[in-house]
Structure 1
Amino acid sequence: MENVPQQRVLCEVCRKEQEKQKLEAHRSPYVQDTARRASRPRAKSQPYKSIEQCVREAKALGISYGQFVARGLDRM
């Protein structure tokens, strides 16, 4: 590169290519996350069991109510 400021490290073509690679790297997780969300149903749309039923089922499994809920078993 000739007749350019010393701060310039890349030519215009290389700079655009590097910027494109950065965009692809940042876009990739978003696309994967969107596909993952679409593949499983939303947890909020599923109704919850009553607390009494959750306590009975947790006791039958030998775990606490908190562990039962943390595992997501409180949803129907």
Structure 2
Amino acid sequence: MTSTTQNRFSRAQLALAGAVVVVLAAMVIDTKFVVIGSSADVKEAVFEPATFGAKTFPIVQADVMARAVDAVELA
């Protein structure tokens, strides 16, 4: 071996690894775990395609009819 030994990791690499560990730990601490079926498992509003379609179809239909070109003009 030579008389000069090199560190396996530089200070910058160790600092970066430490920062990553701190960020991951903060993410885990900030995460709220909810058990399915518990009182915290509340779904406020679920998307219902039938309700959405019934509510928005007249608006979309009126918009399409307003912008549609007359069939006589197309022919």
TM-score of the pair, normalised by structure 1 = 0.34
Relative to total residues, which structure has the larger helix share, 1 or 2? 1
Structure with higher Rg: it is: 2
Higher relative contact order (CA closer than 8 Å, sequence separation 6+): 1
